[in-house]
Structure 1
Amino acid sequence: MHNLKNLFTQHIDAGLYPGVEWKIIHQNSIFEGRLGYLDFSSKKSLGTNSLYRIWSMTKPVISVVILQLIEEKKIKLDDIITEYLPQFNNLTVLKTRDSNISDTVNINNIPTIKDLLLHTAGFSYNFLGDAVAKEYHRVGLFHSNDTTLEEEINLLSTLPLLCQPSTEWVYSVSVDVLARIIEILTKETLQSVLEKRIFQPLEMVDTSFMLEESKLDRLMTSYEFDPLQKKLNEPSANTQKIEGYGYPTNSATYARGGHGLF
C-alpha cells in the first residue's frame, strides 16, 4: 500500500492527475484514501465526499434495471428490439468492415435485448476507428448536450450497423438503446426510474444525471490528457462538451445509458 501511495504521489507531482482516490478490498481488509486535488488551479484537496463523472460506470446501473424488468416479466432477453423501438425495422449492416458507409446489406436478424446487454447487437461507438463510428461522429450522434435520449436513439436507427447482430462483440452504444427501452416500458424519464429503483433504495444521495448548484464545489474537474505533450490540458469552454472534457452538470434533457451519471 505504501508503494501504491508513492506511485500516486509521483503521478500527481508530475501533473498527470490532479488527484487520486481509492478503495481496495482484500480478504477482510479495506484500504482506502485519497491524494491530491479536485483541480490543479484551486489546489482544493479531495474530500471524503468528492464527486466524479463516472462515465461508463453508468452502464451497469442501466443493466441492473433491465435485469429487474426481466425478473418482473416486463421484458425478455430474447425480445427483439423492434418490439419496443419499431424505427429499427429498416436496419442495414456494412457489407464488410472496409466498406463505404453506403455499401450495406440487409441484416440477418434483428438485435435482441440479450445482444444489447452483451454488446453483440452490431452497433459501434463514436471513438472507435471503423466506418460506422466515423459516421456517428459525422452526424453528431451523442455529441449534443441538449438532445433527449429519444432523439439520439431515433438518429441511431437511421444509421447502419457495423456487423451482423449476434456475430461479434463490439463495445458500443447498445446500453443507450437499453436506456431508451427502459423509458418506454416504464413511461418515465430515465432519471426518475433510476432514482426509484436504484439510488433511493441504496441511499445513493449524490448519484444523478444532474448536480445541484450546492454540490458543484465538490466535483472533480475534468481534464484531457495530451499524449504528445504528456500532460493534462487545462479545462476551457470545452469543459461541458462530450468531445473532450466532460458532460454537463445542469442539462434538464441530458440522460444517457452509456455515460452521464455523477
Structure 2
Amino acid sequence: MTAPALPHAPPESVGLNPARLKLLSAAMAREIEEGKAPGLSMLLARNGKIGFHQTMGALKPGGPPMREDAIFRIYSMTKPIVSVATMTLVEEGRLLLSEPVAKYLPQFASMSVGVERDGKFERVPAARPITILDLMRHTSGFTYGFLGTSPVHRLTHEAYFLSQNRSMDEHLADLARLPLLRQPGEVWEYGHSTDVLGRIVEIISGMSLGRLLETRVFQPLGMVDTAFYTPPDKLDRRAEAFPSGSSERDHVDPVNSTEPPLCEFGGTGLVSTMNDYARFCAMLIGGGALGSERLLSPRGFASMTTDQLGDVIIGRSPMIEPGHGFGLGFAVRLGLRGSAFGGAGEFRWGGWAGTGFWVSPGDQMFAIFMVQAPEYIFYLREIFRNLAYAALD
C-alpha cells in the first residue's frame, strides 16, 4: 500500500502569515530577476498540511516556466534517503552501527591518515577501524577533494571519485588507497562516507542501491519520480542551472543519465521532484511514518535525528553552522544560535545545486527549497530559511 496524498490548506489555517509569505515570494522573484537562478520552487507544510507551494521563474535558462512537477538534481539530499534505508536494515538486525566497515569491504581494513609535520607530508596508521556509525555521522576521516587544499584533499580530488563512468568497486579501490584526512571518530568532516555506506547496504541487501531505495523508501512513500537517472520521457521536466564551470572544477558529475548509471552513489546522484521529497519529509515529520506506512520505529527515528557527535570536533566546514550537531544522516540544530533562523531540534540537509530541506518538530513544520543554482548554494537557501521562519505565526 502506498502512503496517502498530502493534503493542502490555506496558509493562515496552518499558522502561516500570508503577508509575510508575500515578502518571501518578492525576495525570491528579485533574486531570479538578478540572475541568481533560472527558477525555483518552494514548499512549506505545517500541522500535516501543505500551506504554501510556489514555483517561480523558468525551468531552464531561456526555457518554459518552472513546473510543479519539475525534476531537480538533488545531489547530497540523496544522503538522508540512503541513511533512512540503512536504518531499516539496522532495525531488521542485518547491520550494526558498531561494526567495522572492513567486515563488508576488506580493502578498508588498514587505513592510514595523512599528516603534515615540519613541512613534510606523511602517513600514519589509523588509530582504530572505521565503523558504520562513523559513516553515518561523517566521522570516518573521508573527505571531498574540493573542500580544501591539503595534500589529502588534492589526492582525493585527483581520484575523480564522483565520476559515474566507473564502477563503485573501482572507486572504492582508489579510496582505500588514499590516506584519511582525520583519525576515525575524532572530527566531523564532510566527505565520501555515505558513498561507502551505499556500497555496504548493496552487499547486505543483495540489491543495487537504486533498487534498495525503490523498495525501502520510494514505493512505500509514493515517490514516483525519484531515481538515479531521468528517463527520456521525463527529460522535458528536468530543471537546469545557468552554465558555469563549477561542475568541472569541483569534479561533480552533472547527473545526465537517461538510464540506470554504472555507478549509484550513496552520497549524491538522485533526481527528485518537490512532490516526491515532500512525501519523504512528511514521513520525517511523522516520526518515521506516513499514513499507515512506517519506515522506521520511533526509537530508530529518534536516534537518527538526535546529535550523535558528543565531544567530536566539527571541522571547519560551511556545511554545518555553529550551534549544530549531527545525527545519523542529518544536521541537528542544538539551540537558537546560528546565522539563520531556526529552532532547537530542527534537522536538515541540502544539495550542491542549492536544494535544501529542514524539518522542525517543535513547529510541526517542514520546508523544501528546490533550485539549480550551484554558484549561490548557501545564499539562496539562507534567504528562504529566514523568510520562511518569519512567516510562522
Q: TM-score range by the shorter chain?
A: 0.7 to 0.9
Structure 2: distance between partners of 1:249 and 1:97: 43
> Could you say what secondary structure the match of 1:200 adopts?
helix
1:9-158 correspondence runs (5 A): 9-26=29-46, 30-42=51-63, 44-96=64-116, 103-129=122-148, 130-142=150-162, 144-158=163-177
Aligned to 2:227: 208
> Could you say what secondary structure the match of 1:95 adopts?
strand
Please list the CA deviations of residues 28-76 of structure 1 after superposition, one character each: whole Å capped at 9, or x if unmatched: 661111110111222x011111110011010001101111111010110
% identity of equivalent residues:
34
Aligned to 1:226: none
1:195 aligns with 2:214: yes
CA contact (8 A) 1:115 1:121 kept: yes
> Could you say what secondary structure the match of 2:164 adopts?
coil
Structure 2: distance between partners of 1:40 and 1:67: 39
How large is the RMSD of aligned CA atoms in angstroms?
2.3
Aligned to 2:321: none
Aligned to 1:243: 251
Structure 2: distance between partners of 1:240 and 1:96: 28
Structure 2: distance between partners of 1:134 and 1:205: 38
Aligned to 1:166: 185
Gaps of 5+ in 2: 1-20, 272-393
Structure 2: distance between partners of 1:74 and 1:17: 43
Gaps of 5+ in 1: 224-233
- TM superposition shift of 1:243: 3.1
> How many residue pairs get matched?
248
Q: By percentage of residues, which structure has more strand?
A: 2
1:186 aligns with 2:176: no
CA contact (8 A) 2:144 2:190 kept: yes
Structure 1: distance between partners of 2:218 and 2:173: 28
Aligned to 1:254: 263
User: Which amino acid in structure 2 is aligned with residue 80 of structure 1?
Assistant: P
- TM superposition shift of 1:154: 1.8
CA contact (8 A) 1:11 1:17 kept: yes
Structure 2: distance between partners of 1:174 and 1:136: 13
> Could you say what secondary structure the match of 1:82 adopts?
helix
Structure 1: distance between partners of 2:247 and 2:233: 19
Structure 2: distance between partners of 1:49 and 1:26: 21
Aligned to 1:229: none
User: Which amino acid in structure 1 is aligned with residue 86 of structure 2?
Assistant: I
Please list the CA deviations of residues 3-37 of structure 1 after superposition, one character each: whole Å capped at 9, or x if unmatched: 11111111111111101210012456611111101
CA contact (8 A) 2:165 2:262 kept: yes
Tell me: CA distance 1:108–1:149, structure 2 relative to 1, closer, same or farther (3 Å).
Answer: same
TM-score under structure 2 length normalisation: 0.59
Please list the CA deviations of residues 177-209 of structure 1 after superposition, one character each: whole Å capped at 9, or x if unmatched: 100001111121111111111111111110000
TM-score under structure 1 length normalisation: 0.88
> Could you say what secondary structure the match of 2:170 adopts?
helix
